[in-house]
């Protein structure tokens, strides 16, 4: 049976109980009114009236107790559901708090790593520039023109290319 149909059945039975109780109460009140005037117009004895009133009070009391029990049951169920919701909410708040703490730690690490990357990038660029500083690029010189002795070739070729006198001091 589904949950909804169970609730509908409970509502029907409650409505039927309320109807039968109110019908019963009406019957008791009518009987009390009839009991005040018996047969040929004489009033009933006080003892009989008291018994009828007492029966009506007991009947009303039991009806009220049934309704109160139903209300208390409903209140208990609502309290249980609220406690479950409160527990789930507390659990969710704890998980959110933990996630926020983790995020704050990660933000700190990321900013540290970003500064480290920037520093290292600057160092790499500086080292690349320094490594190229002493290199000489000779444009227009054919491949393998230097032969086997590069130093001797450059000592002859550079002064010629630059139009300078060769200075040998050996």
Per-residue pLDDT of 48-101, as tens digits, reads 778 888 888 888 888 899 999 999 999 999 999 999 999 999 999 999 999 999
- What are the residue boundaries of the structural domains of the chain, listed by start? 8-133, 136-170
Cα-Cα-Cα-Cα dihedral sign, residues 66, 67, 68, 71: positive
Long-range CB contacts (within 8 A, 24+) of 32-39: 32/56
What residues contact residue 43 under an 8 Å CB cut-off, 6+ apart?
Answer: 36, 37
pTM: predicted TM-score of the whole model, two decimal places: 0.40
3-state DSSP helix/strand/coil percent for the chain, to nearest 5? 80, 0, 20
Count, in order, helices (H) and strands (E) of the chain.
3, 2
> Sorting pLDDT into bands at 50, 70 and 90, what band is 1?
very low
pLDDT score recorded for residue 4:
47
pLDDT at 166: 66
Three-class secondary structure assignment of 61-93:
HHHHHHHHHHHHHHHHHHHHHHHHHHHHHHHHH
Spatial separation of the C-alpha atoms in residues 36 and 55, rounded to whole Å: 15
pLDDT at 40: 46
Q: Average of pLDDT values for 99-120?
A: 96
Mean pLDDT of the chain: 79
Give residue-wise pLDDT tens across range 154-170.
888 888 888 887 666 54
Segment 106-130 shows an average pLDDT of 95
For residue 43, the model assigns a pLDDT of 55
Cα torsion 114, 120, 124, 127: sign = positive
């Amino acid at each position: 049976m589904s949950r909804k149909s169970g609730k509908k059945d409970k509502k029907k039975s409650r409505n039927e109980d309320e109807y039968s109780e109110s019908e019963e109460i009406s019957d008791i009140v009518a009987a009390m009114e009839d009991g005040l005037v018996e047969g040929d117009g004489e009033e009933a004895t006080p003892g009989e009236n008291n018994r009828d009133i007492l029966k009506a009070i007991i009947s009303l009391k039991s009806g009220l107790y049934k309704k109160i029990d139903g209300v208390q049951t409903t209140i208990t169920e609502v309290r249980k559901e609220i406690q479950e919701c409160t527990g789930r909410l507390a659990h969710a708040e704890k998980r959110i708090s933990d996630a926020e703490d983790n995020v704050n730690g990660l933000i700190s690490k990321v900013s540290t790593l970003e500064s480290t990357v920037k520093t290292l990038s600057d160092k790499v660029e500086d080292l690349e520039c320094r490594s190229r500083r002493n290199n000489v690029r000779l444009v227009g010189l054919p491949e393998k023109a230097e032969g086997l002795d590069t130093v001797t070739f450059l000592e002859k070729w550079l002064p010629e290319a630059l139009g300078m006198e060769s200075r040998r001091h050996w």
